[in-house]
Structure formats: C-alpha cells, structure tokens
Amino acid sequence: MNNHHLPRSGQPIVFRNGTVVTMDASKQVHRNTDVLVIGEEIAEMGPALEVPEGTFEVDAAGGIVMPGMVDTHRHMWQTAMRGYGADWTLTQYFVWYYLEHGKSFRPEDIAVGNLLSAWDALDAGVTTSVDWSHGLSTLDHAEAALDALESSGGRFVFAPGNIFAGPWEWSTSTDFKNFVGRRNKRTDMLKFQLAFDVTGDPAFPEKAAFEAARDLDLAVTTHAGVWGASNDDGIRLMYENGFMTPETVYVHAATLSSDSYQRIAATGGSVSLSTESEQSCGQGYPPSWALRQHNIPVSLSIDTSVWFSSDLFTAMRTTLGADRSYEHMKAHEKGDTVTHSALRAEKVVEWATRGGAAALGLDHAVGSIEKGKKADIVLLKNDFSPTSFPMINPCGHIALQAGRGDVQTVLVNGRVVKHNHRLVGVDLEAMRAKVASTVEHLQSVLGEEAWIKGMNPDIPETKILDNPYTYTDYRSSSTRGH
C-alpha cells in the first residue's frame, strides 16, 4: 500500500475491498469488492481483481465506494460570503444581492467565490456541480467565473445568468452568443445551461431567452414554484409556448399546483430540490412528497453557502427528514399513524448521484459505478472516526451517518482530486488571503453599518416578495406591490 503518496498521471488506480454502492439501474451493492480505474474510466469491478503491474492501490476496507455526487444548483459566486446570511429569509437575500450589493462583485470576487466553492464541492465528494451563475454583470465576470471552474479539476455545468439585465436582453446579445460558442466545450467535463426565472407576466418577456437557449442548443434551469416570486403562471406560459423539455431543470418547484407538476411530469423535466434552502427561505414546503406522487425525476442541490451547508450529505438528510415530517404531519391531521416511511435512504442517495447525472444529461458518463463509465468515485472511509462502524446499511450510512470529514478519496474523470482526506494541488493559504480581500472589498463598499445590519436582519419596512433578479415590472396577486 502506498496510500501516503499520490498516483502518477495515468497510473491505474484500484480501490481494494470496499463496499461498492454502485447506484446502477438495479442499485446493486457489492461487499469486499475492488474497483479498477484505468485512464478516465472504470475498467473493472469485482472481488480480488487482477490489476496491471504498478497499479496504485487504495485500501477501501471498511469504507464505502460510491459514485461522485452531483449538485444541480449552486450559486458558486456567493461562496466568499459563506455564512453571512445565516438568519436571512428570501427577502433579505433578494434585497442584499439583487437590489443592493450584488453589483459590487468584481470579476475577481466572482472567481474567488467560484474556486472556493469548487474546492468545497470536491472536498465533500461532489464531483459535478451546476454553477448557477446569476451574479454576472459583464462578460468579464463570466470569463472569470468559468476560468475558476476550469482550474479546479471538477466536472461542471456552467449556467450563466445576469444580475442587471432581463434574460431577454443578455441571452440574445451577439457578445453573449459568441462567448457561449467560444467557451462551451460541450464535453462531459464542461457544458452549459442558461439560468433565468420566469415571472408569469402574461406578456412572457422571457420568450426570447427560451428561443436563445434553443438556438444555442442549451437546456434552461429556472427557479420555479418559489412563493411570491414564480408560480403556476410561469409554468403554464412555458408549457403553452413549447419550452418545457426533458432537459429543463425546475429549481425548488415548491409552491405549485398539481396541474404544474403534471406539466413537468408530462414533458419529462426534472426538479432540483434544495431542501435546506426551502426549509429556511420560504420558497414553500420541500416538495419531495409531491414529486414522488407525480413521478417527477429529482436531483439535489445546496443552493448557496451564504446560508447553507455545501455538501450533499446534508441535502440527503434534510430531504429525508422533510419528506418524513410531512407524511407524519399529514397523517396526524387525520388521526392516522404512518407505519412505513415512503421515502427511503437509498432513494435520496440515488437523487444525489444518478438523479443529478440524469437531470444534466450526463447519465451516460457519470452518476453510477459501472464498467465503462467515467471514473468519478468517492471513497468514504475514516479510520479515526467512531461513527464509521459498524457499516451495516450502506445507503443508510451515506444518507444519515456520513459527513464530509469521511470523504477520504475523490476521483474526477480518473484523476485524484482528494486523497487521505486532503485536496490535491490546492493552496488553501493563498485562497484564504484572496477570499479575505474579497470580503474586505465588500465590507468597504457597504460600510460598517450596512455590513453589520445585513448580517443581522431586522423586520423589513418594505415587503419584497418577488425576485428582483427577474427584472420585470410585472406584479401578480402573489407578488410585491399588490
């Protein structure tokens, strides 16, 4: 065993004697099994594999070998503000970012947030992330965001938005289209989506943005079913205009009618649940129960580190908890008792892995541990932790026992990005200084009073319900100014 070293570039890697949670179509789990990686791919899986001479060995005994996790909605640019909004609701978020301070982020601030977030993800075993990048005010910001992602070693879907302009403006500009044409690699390592929201304005100004997405052959990711900000009207307009496609990702989808869920189901789209966010912000009750009823595919996401945990372990356990709370609460209202949990640990592990891969059109490449797939692999193993054993129920262990400290080794596309609990090739001290300088910049722009007030919200005098990011004057009965 040479666990204290790292494999050379191109050296085959074998995980020995792990419990392999494959998340393949039949959810097979194999005990005492080896996984061999050659180049970018999973070459073989089985007990006591014979491996090429010089293969780098990782002792996975007592640990879980699982697919790299997939986060389908993460505002990575906000990560330099980690924890600042711990006591916010959506109202404070909208005001702070969209009405007041989002415009103070320079390209270097976006870049530093993105890179910190990318490392954060990899450290927690999240190998694919959607960067829902709506803090961009210029294409320089977009270039900086993307450069940061590409330098990190992770797998990404870059979903540009814009903090100033309406989606019908930025998405249709020639400069933007050229940017996409130049930088969208259309590979399994980097692809694009377009990120914008639909207000429900009957004039449907977002139509041009959907057409731009279609022209650019990009999927749309959209915050839908957000209390006070986006509702059934947005879904209906998308449906009536033929913009609900299997590639569309509906983020949150919390406050929607059965009719909207049926439209999502019928058109084959999927929902990205950010349960920790929905529980705190007020988009609506985390809707996993409704998505299950309507048979809508689900993926998980962390949303933003300005409030929330940046790992999918937390997403899995909050989702299980919220779903089960809902079932018990509804049953008790009728005097009934829930005797069997409908949502199982295995299902949330599926949502965190192959569910995310399917949502992003990457399921041919990642999301499960199978021969021939790209080697995005996470080893959960912590020999220093009393919580690491006994490991009787592997999916139960992942969903409710494990944490980022247990992520021992991470591979992306066959390359080691974390080993022996440490990220590879990162300079955390240099990053700490860069993040500090972004925080200092924002603090000085805001001034001390606004900075402290922003972190300690009082009851607002004005009710901001709808999302100012959508940049339309349209107001419905459920939005502001009514």
Taking residues 274 to 303 in sequence order and writing x for each that binds Zn ion by CB under 5 A, - otherwise, the string is -----------------------------x
CB of 303 or CB of 466, closer to Zn ion: 303
CB of 286 or CB of 414, closer to Zn ion: 286
CB of 134 or CB of 418, closer to Zn ion: 134
Would you say how long the chain is, in residues?
A: 482
Q: How many CA atoms lie within 13 A of 431 on its CB side?
A: 18
Kindly state the number of chain residues that form the binding site for Zn ion, as judged by CB under 5 A. 1
Considering the complex, what minimum distance in angstroms separates the CB of residue 226 from Zn ion? 9
Considering the complex, what minimum distance in angstroms separates the CB of residue 277 from Zn ion? 7
SS3 153: coil
Taking residues 360 to 389 in sequence order and writing x for each that binds Zn ion by CB under 5 A, - otherwise, the string is ------------------------------
CB atoms within 10 A of CB 340: 6
SS3 235: helix
Considering the complex, what minimum distance in angstroms separates the CB of residue 241 from Zn ion? 23
CB of 233 or CB of 303, closer to Zn ion: 303
Considering the complex, what minimum distance in angstroms separates the CB of residue 75 from Zn ion? 6
Asked if residues 351 and 363 have their Cβ atoms less than 8 Å apart, the reply is no
Taking residues 148 to 177 in sequence order and writing x for each that binds Zn ion by CB under 5 A, - otherwise, the string is ------------------------------
Considering the complex, what minimum distance in angstroms separates the CB of residue 143 from Zn ion? 22
CB of 67 or CB of 356, closer to Zn ion: 356
**According to CB under 5 A, which residues from 300 to 329 bind Zn ion?**
303
Instruction: Annotate 103-117 with DSSP letters as a single string.
Output: GG--HHHHHHHHHHH
Cα-trace Rg, the chain: 22
Taking residues 399 to 438 in sequence order and writing x for each that binds Zn ion by CB under 5 A, - otherwise, the string is ----------------------------------------
Q: Which residues contact 85 (CB under 8 A, 6 or more apart)?
A: 92, 93, 96, 304, 306, 307, 455
Q: What torsion do the CA atoms of 394, 399, 400, 405 make, to the nearest 10 degrees?
A: 90
CB of 123 or CB of 303, closer to Zn ion: 303
Kindly list the distances between the CA atom of residue 42 and the CA atoms of 46, 126, 133, 366, in Å, as whole numbers in the listed order: 12, 18, 31, 10
CB of 188 or CB of 278, closer to Zn ion: 278
Asked if residues 411 and 375 have their Cβ atoms less than 8 Å apart, the reply is yes
Q: Residue numbers of the site for Zn ion (CB under 5 A)?
A: 303
